[in-house]
Amino acid sequence: MSPRQTKTASFDRPALAPEQIENLRRGAEHFNAGRFFEAHEDWEIRWRHLPPVERPQVQAAILVCGVFVLLEKRRLDPAMRLAKLAVERFAEAAAQSALHDSKATLRLPDAEDRMLRVLARIRLGESDADRLRSEAIGLRANLADRGKD
């Protein structure tokens, strides 16, 4: 290797324990069934014990659940704060994935865009919590095939 060439750091993707994968899967099932409180509970239990590349994405998913639970309770201001935090965590998850050249196991396609729409709609004066909750329609969580990333 010449002095001008540099070797890029390579990170091995940390293995998740079977109970961690099961926990993520169970939370995804609750999430996909619209049981956001239950999904939040499943994911909240073990997120701190996940490898660093996994944590921000799971935190974002937990926050998304919190947004929809708060909207169900018609608590718009706290829902808006959590939606903002969720967007921040999605950005952090993207940065972690780029840093480690690896994507998180838990996936919530379109969730960041949905949180941005919730934020925008509340800021523009939308106060109908049921209409805001419609952002949850079709939102899905899934687990990546860890052997292919």
Smallest CA-to-CA distance from 76 within 30, 129, 32 is with: 129
Note down the domain range covering 64.
18-142
Cα Rg of the chain (Å, integer) = 17
Q: In the predicted model, is pLDDT for residue 2 greater than 80?
A: no
Domain total for the chain?
1
What stretches of the chain adopt beta strand conformation (E)? 106-107, 142-143
Q: Which tens digit of pLDDT belongs to each residue from 28-79? A: 999 999 999 999 999 998 888 898 889 999 999 999 999 999 999 999 999 9
Q: Kindly state whether residue 70 falls inside one of the protein's structural domains.
A: yes
- What are the distances in angstroms from CA 91 to CA 45, 57, 111, 121? 22, 9, 12, 20
Q: Is residue 95 domain-resident?
A: yes
Q: pLDDT digit string (tens) for 95-136?
A: 988 887 888 899 999 999 999 999 999 999 999 999 999 999
